[in-house]
Each structure stands twice: as C-alpha cells, then as structure tokens.
Amino acid sequence: KLLHITSGQVLLAVGNRFYGPLNLLEDASHRPYVNLQLRSGTRVVKGFMADDAHPAVMLTVNQSGFQEDLHAQAPVDIVFVRSLKRMAFDMFTDEALLSKLSQSIAENRSERERFEEWATTQLEAAELFSDDKRIRAARRSRIRRLMHEIQSNDRFFTTITDLLSRAVDRRAKDQSFFEAIVKQLADNPALMQRLESHRVIAAQINHLRETVSQLEIKRNALKADIARKTEIERREAEKSYQSLLDRKDALEREVESRTRALGLANEVGELLQKKNELEEKVNGLAQKREKFYNEIESVDAHLQNAVQNAHKYAFDGAIASKLLQAASEWETDSQKANFTQRAQLISRLKVSAESGPALRNRLVEEVQRYRNYDVNTILNLFISVTQNFLTVFSGDPGSGKTSICEIIAHVLGLRSLYKNAAVLESGLWRNPLASNRFLTVPVERGWTSKRDFIGYYNPLSKTFESVDSRRIEAFAELDAESRLAGADLPYFMLLDEANLSPMEYYWGDFMRLCDAQGRTEYVSFGGGATYAVTDALRFLATINNDFTTESLSPRLIDRADVIRLPELETASGIMPAAGDLKPLVSWKAMKELFGAHTQAGRFEETEDLLDDIYAAFRSSLGICVSARTRLAIEGYVRAASRVFEANGRPAHISAVDYAVVQRIMPRIDGNGAQYREKLEALQSLFDGNGLDLSRRTLAEILERGDNSMGWYRFF
C-alpha cells in the first residue's frame, strides 16, 4: 500500500526456490498477490534454485514514501538471479500424477496388466506431461516407481481381505459397521470393482450367486404350488358364490311375493282409513249444512219480521255479520285446501340429483357467470345463507347487494319455478309468477310493526289484508309443507333496503327464530292465523350505510352474518335471463354440503386461534363474544374448512378469517385516539396469523374513521 505497486514482475521465494518471474496483481482490497496457475496446464513452474554451488545473493533496501500524509519506509527484498541456477519445477504430486493417468486406465487387476503395454506407447506423449525433456523423464521414473509400489501392495491384498472377512464375522451384529461399509461402497464404485476382481471375493460372490440361483428355483416352485392351490380355492369360491346367488334369487322372489301380499294388506288399511276420514268430513259438512240451513231459516224469519217492522230493524247488523262470517269460513277452508294442494305439488317436483363436490362446483360456476368473485367468496355466500335464518348484505349503493341475492336464488332454481310444466298445468296459482320461492319485500320508511311487513287481520271483513298477498301466502304454503315429509325446497325472502326502518320494530317477531337451529317454530299474525315456520325459510336483507338509514342493534347483529361484498367490476354486472330455467336444488342437499355439522371439518385446529381473538376483542374493545356467536362460528368453520379452496394458506384459516369479519367485526363502534390504538393492536393479531381479509377490513375501518373525525365503525 505504501509503495503503490500496481504492476511489474516479482519472484515468489519458497525455501531455496524462487518461482517466477510472475506478474504482481491486486485484489479488490488493493492487496498484492501472484497466480501460479496450477489448476490448469502442465503444472510446471519456471524459476531459479539456490544451492551450495549457486548461493542466493539477497539485498534488503528501505523504500521511502508517504502514507496518509506521513513519511514512512518499507523494506524491499532484492535477489540477484544472474548467479542462480535456472529450473523448471514439477508441481504434480504423486496422487495428482496417478489421477491424471487413471482417467484412461481402470483400477482392477486385469486392466492393470495392460498398463505396461499402454505405458510403452503413451509415456512419450507430450500432451499429458510436459514439453520439457527433464520433466518428462522425471515423471516417467515416478510412474514406474509408483507402479512397482502398487504391484508390491497387491501381494498384501489377499491377507488384508482375509483380515477384513474375519473382522466382518466378529462385528456381524454391529449395524453401524455395516452402514459404514455400504456408504464407502456407494461413495466409491471403483472400490467395489476392485473387491469383485479379487479371487477370494470373486469365489465368495460365485458361491452366493449359486445360492441365489437355488433359492430362485425354490421360489419358482413355491409360486407354482401357490398358484395351483389358489386356482383350486378360486373354483371352490366360485361354486360357493353361485350357490349363494341362487339362494339370494330365491329369497328375493319370496320377499317379493310376501311384499305384494303385505302391500295389499296395507292398501286395504289405507283405504279404510281414508274412508273413515271421508265419512268424518261428510259428517262435518252435513253439520255445517244443517247449521247454514238453520241460520238461513232464522235469517228468513228475521227478514220477514224486519220487512214487517222495517222501522225497528233498519240498522240491525246481525244479517251482515252472519253472512260475512260464513263467507270468511268458506274462503278460509278453500284457501287451506289450495295451500295443501300446492304443498303436495311442491313435494312431487323433481330436484337435482347433484350433491357434494359436484353440486359445489356447479353452483360456483353458475355464480361466476354473472359475478367475477373468487371461489371462496361465492362459497361463503352459500354457507352463510344455509346456516343463518338472517343474512345481511352491507355496502354502498350499486355494490350489487340485491342482485347477488337474486343470483343465488336463480342458480338454486327458485326464481324459475313458474316455468315448470307441472306448476303451469296445476292452476293452483292465479299468477304463475307467485309460485317462485324468492320473494322481494321492499321495506319502506316508517314501518313500525309486522302489520306493515305482513299485513293484518281485519275483524270487520274477517279477512287478512296486506299490501302484497304473496307474503302471507308464503307462510301459509310453508305451514302446509310442514305437514308433508316430501316438501324439501328452500324459500328465500329478501328485505330490500331493510334499514330504512328499524328492523327490530317490523321484524321483531322473527328474531327469536334465529336460534331455532332446524326446529319448526310458529308465528301468529292475528285472526287465528298461526303458521309453522320450517327450517327451509331464509331471510336475506340488504342495507345501506348512510345518514338516511337506521343502525342495526347489537341484538340483531348477534343473530346474523353480515357480508360485505367485493367491489363490483363493470364487466361482471350482468344478470340472469328471465327465461333461464335452472334445476331445483333440495334443501337437504344444501344442508349436507354447507350445513353446520358438529362432527365434520377441521375446527379443533383453530380453537386456540379463536380463543386468542375472542380474548383480544374482549380486553381491547370490550366486545364479549356470546355463546350464540361462538356456536355460529364453529358451525361456519367446520363447513368452510371442508369446501374452501386452499389459496396459499390452509382452508380452515380462511374460514376463521371470514367468520371473524362477518360475525365479530360488525360490532366495532367507537371513537377517539385510544380506541384507534386498540384497533391497531388488533391489527397486529390479524397480521401474525395470516387473517388477510380481517386485516384489510380493519384497515378500511381505520381509514374511514380517520376521515370521519376519529369515529371508527364497521358500518
């Protein structure tokens, strides 16, 4: 560094040898070095050598210079080469020289015998050794010496082999010893070839080969014997199987004969039961007819008396009341009969035979025709609708909330029921469109009770009055279907713009049904109209988040899934065609595929993670997750972990992600910097467990809150 040497030639002094001259080079740190280039070429380095006849004359001088503005000196050794002996140094070691030769010569005994003949013709070759005659002659001498040593070593090879054999016998039970031998043979194939070439090893190998040959002969004989016995047993089994088949056919014929006899007996019993039921109906109708006749006679007498005394009965309402009551009873009976016939027709409709993965894939493909959602987003919709009595779709206007509800009903065949031939021919619906099992209810501002939603019973006209009669008819149809085992189609009712009025006011009677868990419950609408609500009824609700709408209460949020839809792309905003007929999907198939099965799914792997999340919401935000919500999350995770795709993370982690966003995060509602810090702590929990959807949703809440004077809300 002091001398700033960047080029020039130097000698490399090693003992009494001086290699060079060599070019002086610099590395990246400005340190000097030389390259002997021994990795390629002939490995001959030229230089000088000092001995007694040619002593080295050395001179050390101090070279002056400046280093960091300071004067300094460095010693430099100078050698006078004019008096030294010029040399060509052979840098090949014995091992390297033999390695060079072994590229064309095998190491076994038979190949080694050819070495002398090969050496005679090849030792003069300059390309393998050197152009220097002295180097070439020295290397030939070294090769002959090494070959002589190899031949001498071969005399001891037999003794070494015998010793190795005895050592192996002594360590027969040492597993590590044999593993070491196998590793050596695997790492050095040439060693195996040398062992096989030795006469002792060769004799043992030949003996083992003869033993193997004898064992193969015995094995083939055993195979033939086994095959012969197997064939005999197979023939006996076929005879036994044929005998069993004949016995089975005979039993089936006997069962069929007895079934026909039992069927006739059952039909007779059913006919007798129907006869008794018809007789009871006839008796009942006869009683009603006699009652009507008596009332008519009473009315006639009353009318005659009224005509004669018109001034007394001009304002008497008895006649009108009796007529209205009779008309109401007749209309009620007629409607009940109509709803029963509708239920019977619904139970006979053909449903799709698809189930399991086939049904899952078809539903996803059908929805993706209209919305460019990923697979798990679509499956989340079906799981939520199947498991929850109420599913809420939240978002800004135009985000596709109403349309996705219509698409879900469409792919399940619920919006094209009116095109079914059996429905059209039945004439049970005045308007065939009323047969569809997807009903939209536009919610209006100012609704305060179920009277606004369903309607009310008018005691004066003794009829049920409603803005849309299909609403009360939907409950009447489900009531009739509850008495039939074959009715198995879902019914979706959409509360559009549901939070224009407080849902707890007009939908309050249905909140208790959220905990039905598959049980049949009952609702009353007045006038003796009490209807059974089956598990097949599902409510969907769309809500907007602005100052014109009402907030959802914690009571309602605790009973529903709240789904925030992805942003709707313009190109994916198409809707199903009105005449597109879709196969009906049974409610049983939906429950089996998307239902909350307690013994299925990978919920146990997520219990610790969910416990951490529950604790974080409770300690940070004061949000206690109720037992109802925990059960709902468990059911959701079990179903989703079975059907979700693993997109870069396990399916059960994605299931937890969706469940947290839809069941717990809707309760986030607070303000202030301290509340924001607690949300940021929750964000770190989401980041550490790969809950990407929860993390993104919370980031949106934080961003909206920062732009809303520090008010952080889910909605």
**What's the pLDDT at 667?**
95
C-alpha dist (Å) from residue 573 to 29, 333, 339, 404, 569? 65, 46, 37, 10, 7
Task: In whole angstroms, give the CA distance from residue 589 to residue 639.
Answer: 13
The pair of three-digit structure tokens given for residue 154, joined into one six-digit string: 């071969």
Model pLDDT for residues 234-248, shown as the tens digit of each residue: 888 888 888 888 888
Burial of residue 688 (number of CB atoms within 10 Å: 0-12, 13-18, 19+): exposed
Identify which of 439, 579, 595, 459 has the alpha carbon closest to the alpha carbon of residue 517: 595
**What's the pLDDT at 17?**
92
Least confident of 117-126, 173-182, 377-386: 117-126
Q: What is the end-to-end Cα distance of the chain in Å, rounded?
A: 72
Task: In whole angstroms, give the CA distance from residue 661 to residue 648.
Answer: 19
Kind of pairing between the strands at 463-465 and 456-458? antiparallel
Sheet with strand 17-23: strands edge to edge: 9-14, 17-23, 44-49, 85-90
| 3-state DSSP of 198-234 | CHHHHHHHHHHHHHHHHHHHHHHHHHHHHHHHHHHHH
**What's the pLDDT at 324?**
47
| Average pLDDT, integer, range 285-304 | 71
Strand partners, 88: 46
Task: In whole angstroms, give the CA distance from residue 171 to residue 177.
Answer: 7
Model pLDDT for residues 68-101, shown as the tens digit of each residue: 677 888 888 899 998 898 988 888 777 676 666 6
Model pLDDT for residues 675-692, shown as the tens digit of each residue: 999 999 899 899 889 999
Model pLDDT for residues 312-343, shown as the tens digit of each residue: 544 455 554 554 454 445 456 667 888 899 98
Q: 24-47 burial by CB neighbour count: b if 16+ within 10 A, else e?
A: eeeeeeeeeebeeeeeeebbbbeb
Task: In whole angstroms, give the CA distance from residue 38 to residue 18.
Answer: 16
For residue 43, report the phi and psi dihedrals to the nearest 5 degrees.
60, 40
The pair of three-digit structure tokens given for residue 539, joined into one six-digit string: 């409510």
Model pLDDT for residues 458-492, shown as the tens digit of each residue: 877 777 888 888 998 999 999 999 888 777 899 99
624 contacts 618 by C-beta, under 8 angstroms? yes
**What's the pLDDT at 392?**
97
Residue 337 in 3-state DSSP?
helix
**7 vs 17, which has greater pLDDT?**
17
Q: How confident is the model at residue 272 (pLDDT cuts 50, 70, 90)?
A: confident
Identify which of 294, 355, 376 has the alpha carbon closest to the alpha carbon of residue 693: 376
Q: Considering the chain, what percentage of its residues have pLDDT values greater than 90?
A: 36
